[in-house]
Structure 1
Amino acid sequence: MADVAVDNSAPADPLPSTEKKSVLTDDLMEEKNQENQPAAEGEGATGGDSNVYRYTKGDLFTSEIFKVEIQNLPKYIGFNDLKKFLNKHGISPHKVKLFSKQMFAFVTFKNQEERDKAMKAVHGMQWKNKVLSVRLAKPKADPILKKRKQEEETEGVQPDAKRAAGSKEVEEESLNIQIANAVTPLWNVPYKEQLKRKQQEVEDILQKLTREIGNNNKAMLPWLFVQKEKCNKMCCPLEPIQPSPVQMEYRNKCEFVIGVGADGEDKTVGFRLGKYKGGSCAVVSPTETSHVSSEAKMVVQAFQQFIRTTPYAVYSPETYEGHWRQLTVRTCRTKQTMAIVFFNPQKLQEEELEELKRNLRHYFTDGDGKESGITSLYFVRMGQRTSAGTEDLPCEHVSGDECIHEELLGLKFRISPHSFFQTNTPAAEVLYSAVGEWAQLDEDSTVLDVCCGTGTIGISLAKRVKKVIGIELCQEAVEDAKANAEANGLTNVEFHCGKAEDVFPTVLNAVVSPNVTAVVDPPRAGLHSKVILAIRRAEHLKRLIYVACNAKAAMNNFIDLCRAPSNRVRGAPFRPVRAMAVDLFPQTMHCETILLFERVDYSSSTDSQTQQNPEN
């Protein structure tokens, strides 16, 4: 499921982000500190350091202050090996970061008691002929403070705060190029060449999948040998990439960060030039970005004008002070526009917040912001422990309609603030049309639409089949999906709310249709292993269409679908028979990949020969 977030924490990465984290101090720290380096580069024994993160010295909880370094680990162990080892000895870490080549790991805990217990238990313990040692560890140096210190040492002058965010002396043209390179890195590459690169990347992924299938299911080797000869070392034919019908201004949802501009202007709404861990929080207006719609740019400009008239500061990811955090804009073909304002109240009184919302309402309904065309306005309060854009925060309706409505493949779809909907509507039509063609459906078919969002895939197929069953985590999206089915006059569609790994096995076991096809369109991390195991066990499920917004991240899912039967993985394996890329994200390296998997049929002579002696 590819809700590609042009997000606030990085250069508008067009990678899908449908499942966002909701805990600020540890999970924003994860963004800041996800590339931990060995102790020699700033992380080691506890001690004073002016460059450590400020939140470790404030009132906010972070497991970073309960952190240890385990040294002298055995060679060739993996993350799961270390976690199982710790659990076996009654140790429950909050997070584990393993450096297997250097044979050490950083481990954090939820409190000092658990940390001290772990240090006492593990220090001196022997594991695979290695005697482990444990020492306290400190957070990595804050990238922004570290960068300032380096600048000060290099230039011999004290850099001011605004110069850390960006210099006013940087030319506007240069900034436009920098932000284009950050959010749309292929903006200056001819579109045919973009498609060629994406086609090649998918081909590389399929070649890797071919090798992995061979490693995990020896019985498929004869079949793979034939496929590789026919398909350029791939396990299945790769059809030509399908281009996006539009290459400019195609995004119907964008998330804009609010911060200090790279030109020194305070309260700037746009995209960051870099990540916090890179030492920059500079924000650049989206005015010249090619993938953002003109409607969204109008909203950004109007909103920026509004917040500059208020006394409230922008939120600082460095100090955790300030208020304005993010603006999300959703647009559609029907010329409706939704704006969602993310605001950190800090210690403001309720009366002040209500006055702010009244001012927002007046500005966009009767004031200067009216021309921006907002038809639906929401306000989201964000606490110190929540990250911007999180999907589970309540949205307060401020003015206008509660939803916007999109048209896709001749159908109508209602979209709420948190609901998933593909960010490139014309290209989504190409994607869903391909899914419908590949599914080979008839009037006796049952379609299982997993991670269905607002029900777009299932609803687009409903008139061809007996029944559609959708599964979706977001309650708001499920309500939209139900309303969408009703609005399109469909009575053979039902939706279930919950985690796919919890709901899918029950739903699948209840289906008795002779022709069952599953369509899965999960977040970039892929499906939970429980869902894959349920799919493998359900022998009556013969066909699976996997829509991957990040095929590399979904590789383990692909492998598990095809691996040999075992005590853990029961049921006949699948094998890929068809693949195609659809470009939903022009000007970036990302695309959607469709893979059609079919169950190996033991009743046929060919398959029965290739599947003898399954591995245990």
Structure 2
Amino acid sequence: MSEVTIESKEKCPDAPHETEQECTVEKIVEKSLDETAKDENSTDATNDEFNYLKRSEFTSEIYKIEVRNLGYFGIGEFKKLLKSKLNLNVTKIKSPLRKEFAFVCFRSEEDQQRAIETLNGYKWKGKVLQAAAAKASADPLQKRRNENAQREEKESQPKRQRTSADAICPYAAFPYEEQLQKKTSEMEELLKKFTNKLRHTNQAAKKQLNEFKFNGVKASPQINGYRNKNEFTVGKNSSGDIVVGFRLGSYADGSVEVSEIQDLPHIPDSAKWAASSFQQFVRNSNFLPFNPEDNSGHIRQLMVRTSAHTGEIMLVAGVYSSNMNETELAALKQNLKEYYDTCTDEAKGFKCTSLYYQDVKHREAGQTISPIEHISGSTHNTDTIHNLAFKISPLAFFQINTQGAEVLYDKAIELAAPQPHSTVLDICCGTGTIALAFAKHCKQVLGVEIIPEAIKDAEFNAAANSIENCKFFAGNADDYIQSMVREVVYGNAPGAPLDLIAVVDPPRAGLHNRSIAAIRAATAIKRLVYISCNPVHAQRNWIELGRPESKQYKGDPFFPKTAIAVDMFPHTTHTELVILFERATQPDGEEENKETTNAETIKDTTPEEKGNAADIEANKS
């Protein structure tokens, strides 16, 4: 049976409209057919908001059902019900937050009907489920075009199209000091809302929240040209010219227009050269740019990684291969190799040092990343933070503002205040940048990351920098947190002081609630440093950390102590926020009993022994 895809928000906001964050028709909140197509029979095919359903890749929109009366269920539990217990051939589950209904998609009418018959009237968690066929969503691009056409009939002047600066760098028009003031006010307002909500969630937090401090926004050492990673879209501008740049809006907003990036202040000259050279390649190629309206064309995107330290330029060309045969695909790869073997800017010293191909098309069920293939040059870039050298693979996470990362990690270390006997758990460790930065300040660092390639980079980086007190594990953080804590607790010498600090730097959507529950249950963790590239999304995690103890969240809550922001993204609206959380203290005697109980409930397994089980669970998720 194929794996189920559960739609969710995806690490840091590299750009508001990067290809990996673009919306497709299947990601739009459902609205009924009656609301969006009142007179379908009189609509021309080119203006039909449902014309996309004729393409084979959108069968899940055709064979979709709505399940109601769910209660506030856990999406993981609902998935297990459908897949494991009822054996339904589900391809996708789409569930609006805080709603008592979900949309479930299938690949055939037979599977759809079997699901309706099985689920309608089924009793689950004290509820009687209701299931019925659901109408497909309208194509948001065509819908917006129809709306614009109607509006322009009433207005003499159409709405001005945004520029790339408007879409990507809305703060670039302000002096940098004013940008910092705006971001300081925004963070103060965000933290005020968070603390007010936590006060209502946990009455015991009031005293600690009165002492909570926000220490402002620290400036980035580099304001212009700081981005070491960019993902550009290949498309057309308003004049119909092929462009490699940024989308001016998402598909859901009714926009597929792409604008050049040469005037954007946060893009380095090396990345601008990469975009310009690739744009020339596409314009001269027999292969067309990808068109998201009808899934025609081939060349879809370009990821560029640059290193100011070494001058390296890595290019990853993203290609939609569904409408190509093997001969055509081989020819395209060969054309890329031959082009970049000789394409250089001798005056500025720009040259592609690493070239990859990435197969970017509709992902199979259970697939999380698009596969890559090395074409020529080196296999990675190298960059430095805190005088430590880091190997960076194409898909590995690395802070996009290298100089800003030094300030960010300095502040994280300052808030965590590690001692020579401290152990740091680096959750979502990536290529080990945080772990290696902490290493010289503590006894040891244990890191976990779900991407195996990133762990290989982390181990390589530790060895290359002669750091021996770091240990890394590839797997789901949910499965490893308890076993890492056990390794520290039982490895600590009798009578020796124990100081366990957790540092989390999760994807923009935050940690899964199972990870929060594991941190809460691990009572040996007394301090937690949460680094967030999207504080709006992270608030959900912060509230979960501070909830009163319950069946779901065992262990005393964590309350915020100090926060500080770092402007990792000058000229944009984004800000990185670091918060120190401390576990609530308990009366004497209670804490010791909890430590003993917690230690007894941790299975007698090491992180290595949990490897196979963790991999299995990660694949199920």
- With normalisation by structure 2, the TM-score equals 0.80
* Structure 2 unaligned blocks of 5 or more: 1-9, 493-497, 593-621
Change (3 A) 1:53 1:468: farther
Change (3 A) 1:308 1:121: same
Please, what is the CA RMSD of the aligned residues? 3.8
- The structure 2 residue matched to 1:315, chosen from 280, 286, 290, is 290
Task: Give the Cα–Cα distance (whole angstroms) in 1 for the partners of residues 274 and 507 of structure 2.
Answer: 28
Amino acid aligned to 1:112: E
- Once the two structures are superposed, the pairs formed by residues 211-222 of structure 1 within 5 Å of their partners are 211-221=196-206
In the alignment, is the contact (CA less than 8 A) between 1:256 and 1:326 conserved in 2?
yes
Task: Give the Cα–Cα distance (whole angstroms) in 2 for the partners of residues 365 and 128 of structure 1.
Answer: 62
- Once the two structures are superposed, the pairs formed by residues 540-579 of structure 1 within 5 Å of their partners are 540-579=524-563
* Structure 1 unaligned blocks of 5 or more: 22-26, 157-169, 231-235, 609-616
Question: More deviation in 413-422 or 394-403?
Answer: 394-403
Matched, 1:289 2:287: no
- The structure 2 residue matched to 1:354, chosen from 330, 349, 355, is 330
Matched, 1:4 2:13: yes
Deviation at 1:353, TM superposition (A): 2.7
Task: Give the Cα–Cα distance (whole angstroms) in 1 for the partners of residues 133 and 572 of structure 2.
Answer: 42
- The structure 2 residue matched to 1:535, chosen from 508, 519, 532, is 519
In the alignment, is the contact (CA less than 8 A) between 1:95 and 1:108 conserved in 2?
yes
Change (3 A) 1:96 1:482: closer
Matched, 1:487 2:496: no
Count of aligned pairs between the two proteins: 562
SS in 2 for 1:553: helix
- The structure 2 residue matched to 1:366, chosen from 325, 342, 346, is 342
Deviation at 1:352, TM superposition (A): 3.2
SS in 2 for 1:471: strand
- Once the two structures are superposed, the pairs formed by residues 65-144 of structure 1 within 5 Å of their partners are 65-69=62-66, 78=72, 94-97=92-95, 106-120=103-117, 136-144=133-141
Aligned counterpart, 2:586 = 602
- Once the two structures are superposed, the pairs formed by residues 16-415 of structure 1 within 5 Å of their partners are 28-31=24-27, 33-34=28-29, 36-42=30-36, 50=45, 51-60=48-57, 62-69=59-66, 78=72, 94-97=92-95, 106-120=103-117, 136-149=133-146, 178-221=163-206, 223-224=207-208, 227-228=209-210, 236-265=212-241, 267-334=242-309, 335-367=311-343, 372-385=350-363, 392-415=369-392
Amino acid aligned to 2:581: F
Change (3 A) 1:154 1:592: closer
Change (3 A) 1:216 1:111: farther
SS in 2 for 1:144: helix
SS in 2 for 1:291: coil
In the alignment, is the contact (CA less than 8 A) between 2:287 and 2:298 conserved in 1?
yes
- With normalisation by structure 1, the TM-score equals 0.81
What whole-Å deviation, never above 9, does each CA across 1:410-439 have from its counterpart, x for those lacking one? 111110100100011111110001111122
Aligned counterpart, 2:447 = 470
Aligned counterpart, 2:475 = 498
What whole-Å deviation, never above 9, does each CA across 1:508-560 have from its counterpart, x for those lacking one? 22212411111100011111222212211222111111101112212222122
Change (3 A) 1:99 1:346: closer
Change (3 A) 1:315 1:578: same
Task: Give the Cα–Cα distance (whole angstroms) in 2 for the partners of residues 571 and 131 of structure 1.
Answer: 34
Deviation at 1:294, TM superposition (A): 1.0
Deviation at 1:446, TM superposition (A): 1.0
Amino acid aligned to 2:17: P
SS in 2 for 1:464: coil
Task: Give the Cα–Cα distance (whole angstroms) in 2 for the partners of residues 253 and 386 of structure 1.
Answer: 26
Deviation at 1:37, TM superposition (A): 3.6
What whole-Å deviation, never above 9, does each CA across 1:234-273 have from its counterpart, x for those lacking one? xx100121111122211110000001222210x3111111
In the alignment, is the contact (CA less than 8 A) between 1:43 and 1:138 conserved in 2?
no
Deviation at 1:565, TM superposition (A): 1.6
In the alignment, is the contact (CA less than 8 A) between 2:32 and 2:135 conserved in 1?
no
Change (3 A) 1:127 1:407: closer
Matched, 1:508 2:481: no
What whole-Å deviation, never above 9, does each CA across 1:151-176 have from its counterpart, x for those lacking one? 666779xxxxxxxxxxxxx9xxx87x
In the alignment, is the contact (CA less than 8 A) between 2:18 and 2:233 conserved in 1?
no
Task: Give the Cα–Cα distance (whole angstroms) in 2 for the partners of residues 255 and 451 of structure 1.
Answer: 22
Deviation at 1:345, TM superposition (A): 2.5
Query: Whose relative contact order is higher, 1 or 2, with alpha carbons under 8 Å and at least 6 apart?
Result: 1
Change (3 A) 1:599 1:152: closer
Change (3 A) 1:261 1:202: same
Task: Give the Cα–Cα distance (whole angstroms) in 1 for the partners of residues 436 and 126 of structure 2.
Answer: 58
In the alignment, is the contact (CA less than 8 A) between 2:314 and 2:355 conserved in 1?
yes
